[in-house]
Amino acid sequence: MRVAVIGAGVVGALLARELCRYEAEVLLFEREADVGWGVTKANSGIVHAGFHDRPGTACARFCVSGNALFPEVCRELDVPFRPTGAYVVALSFRERAVLDELRAQGEENRVPGLAIVAGDEVLSREPNVNPEVAAALWAPTVGITEPWALAIAAVENACANGLELHLAEEIVGIEVARGRVRTAVTSRGRYPVDAVVNAAGLFADQVAAMAGLAELRLVPRRGEYVLLDKAAGGLVRSVLFPVPSPRSKGILVLPTVDGGVLLGPTAEDLPSAAKGAMETTAGGIAAVLAGARRLVPRVDPALAIKAFAGLRPEPPGSDFVVGETPVRGFYQAAGMRSPGLTAAPAVARWLAVEIAADLALPPKGSVNPIRRGIPRTADLAPEEWEALIARDPRYGRVVCQCNHVTEGEIVEAIRRGARTLDGIKFRTRAGFGRCQGAFCTDRILQVLARELGTRPEEIGARGPSAPLVVGRVRP
C-alpha cells in the first residue's frame, strides 16, 4: 500500500513519522527545498493548554491531547521543549470576569491545573508584569518549543524508519476515479496511491480542490512579531497572554527556547489570494509594541533584532478540518490555524490510526522512535565541548558568534540535508542571533559551497533561484 502526504510542515512531518510505524510505502511531498518553511516557520511556538478553544471543537480536542503528547515527542526527537506555564493577565475588574469564563472553558476541555491567582502572586513570579495586574489565569501545562526543529526532527526520524522524502516536488493534481483517489500528480511525475493526506497548510484549499473538494476556503490571517535579543532574556519566565478577543489570543510576551523574548502576534485578515504576504507593516509593529508594553511596560524596542510575519490558515467555522472526506482515500489535516502546532502530534497519531485501519495496514515489526539532534556546542559543558573538538576539530571553529554555532554543527546540518542558508539556520540557529547573519552569512556560504562541491553563487537563502552572491568583484 502507498500513502502520500502532501506538505512537510509540522503536521505532515509528524503524520509521516506516525505512518512509518505501519507496513506501507510512505511518501512525503514538499514543494519547497526543505522541511518546515510554511506556516511552521513563523508562529509563536507555544504549546497551548487548550483553554482558549471552544468546547466540542476539533481545536479543543486535539490541542489538549497534543499538549499531553508534547513532552514525550520532543524527548524522543531531541527537540527543545520548555514547560514554562502561562498567565492570562487581567488588568481591570472587567477583564477579571473573563478569566472565570476561560477557566470554565478550559475545565470543560479537561485542561489540568488551571487556577485564578491574585495580582500580587503574579508579580512575585513575574516582576515585570504591569503592576496594575488585577489577577491572572495560571495554566501550568503551557510550554514553548521550536516548531521548525520539530518538523525537521520528525522527518529525519521518519526517514530512518523508511519514509521516502520528495523535496522541491509540488503536487499539481490528484486523480480520482469511481469516488476513490488513484494518483498523485507532481511537478516531476505520477504516483499511483492508495491514500493521500492533504497537510498543505495555507494551500490546503487548493489541494482539496484538486481532489474535487471545492468548498474549503482558507483565509490568510497575518500575525506580525518583534523578536528581542537575548539581552532581554530575563524579562519574563512564562508565556504572558492578555485577555483574548473573540478573534485572537491577543498580543503576547513570551520567552523563546534559545533565550530571547518574542512579542506578538497581530491578527489581520487578508484577501484569500494574499498567501505570500509575509511582509511586516509599520502599523503592525506599532500594535505589537503597544500590546506588549501594556502587559510588560519594561519591553525595550531598542533590543529588537528582527520583525517578521506569519500567516494563519483560517478555515470556515474557525475549526480544523481533520479526517476522511467524501473522496475515499483522501484525508485532510487542513485549516490548521492556531493551536495547530500544539495539536500536530495528536492529529498525526489519530489520523495515522484511522488510515491504517481503513487500509488494513499491519504495524511494522520494529520502529525506532528516537532521533538525536545535532550537538549544540553553546549548550555543552567545557569538558564536553573539548571532547567533541578532540573527535572533530571543526567543532572548535565558531562561525556564528551570536549563537555560538561551530563549523562542525554546520557540516553536520549539511550531512543531514541542509542545502541552503535557511536550511542551516533552522537546523543550527546560525544567523538567528543579534547580528541576524551580518557577520556569518559569508562563512556559512563558503562551508556550504565546499561541502556540496559547488560555488557560493549557486546557493541561496532558500535555494539556487534566489542566490545571495551574484558574482566575484575580482577574478
Where on the chain is the footprint of ligand FAD (CB under 6 A)? Answer: 6-12, 29-32, 37-40, 43-46, 48, 147, 170-171, 199-203, 207, 223, 265, 310-312, 336-342
Query: Which residue number, 12 or 375, has a Cβ lying nearer to ligand FAD?
Result: 12
Give 29 or 432: the residue with its C-beta nearer to ligand FAD. 29
Contact (CB, 8 A) for 87 and 238:
yes
Give just the sign of the alpha carbon dihedral 313, 22, 355, 182. Answer: positive
**Can you tell me the distance from the alpha carbon of 456 to that of 197, in angstroms, rounded to the nearest whole number?**
37
Contact call for residues 321 and 332 (beta carbons, < 8 A): yes
* Cβ-Cβ contacts under 8 Å for 442 (sequence gap 6 or more): none
Nearer to ligand FAD, 30 or 194 (CB): 30
In the complex, least distance from residue 389 CB atom to ligand FAD, rounded to whole angstroms: 36
Alpha helices in 109-169 (DSSP H): 119-125, 147-160
Selecting among 48, 52, 166, 404, the annotated active-site residue is 48
Report, in Å, the least distance between residue 97 CB and ligand FAD: 25
Cell 510505502 belongs to residue: 25
**Choice between 106 and 223, CB closer to ligand FAD:** 223
Smallest gap from Cβ 246 to ligand FAD, in A, equals 17
In angstroms, rounded to a whole number, what is the distance separating the alpha carbons of residues 443 and 415? 17
Which residues lie closer than 8 Å to 84 by C-beta, 6 or more apart?
A: 142, 143, 144, 237, 238, 239, 254, 255
Of residues 15 and 402, the one with the C-beta less far from ligand FAD? 15
Give me the least distance between CB of 151 and ligand FAD, in Å please.
7
Is 48 one of the catalytic residues?
yes
Residue 182 · residue 192 · CB < 8 Å: yes
Integer Cα distance of 35 and 39 in angstroms = 11
Question: Least distance in Å: CB of 457 to ligand FAD?
Answer: 25
Provide, rounded to whole angstroms, the least separation between the CB of residue 92 and ligand FAD: 25
- Contact between 295 and 242 (Cβ < 8 Å): yes
Between the CA of residue 297 and those of 289, 363, 394, what are the distances in Å?
10, 54, 43
C-alpha span between 22 and 40 (Å, rounded): 26
Measured from the CB atom, is 297 or 316 closer to ligand FAD? 316
Cα angle, residue 139 at apex, residues 136 and 141 outer, rounded to 5°: 165
CA–CA separation, 289 and 286 (whole Å): 5
- Which residues, listed in sequence order, are joined to residue 467 by a DSSP beta bridge? 460
> Minimum distance between the CB of residue 227 and ligand FAD, rounded to whole angstroms?
13
Residue 272 near residue 219 (C-beta atoms within 8 A): yes
Instruction: Determine the Cα angle at 250 with ends 291 and 267, to 5°.
Output: 100
CB of 144 to ligand FAD, least distance (A): 8
**What residues are paired with 363 via a beta bridge?**
22
How far, in Å, CA of 348 to CA of 163, rounded?
15
Nearer to ligand FAD, 3 or 388 (CB): 3
Q: Which is nearer to ligand FAD, 309 or 445 (CB)?
A: 309
* R_g of the chain, CA atoms, integer Å: 22
Catalytic (active-site) positions: 48
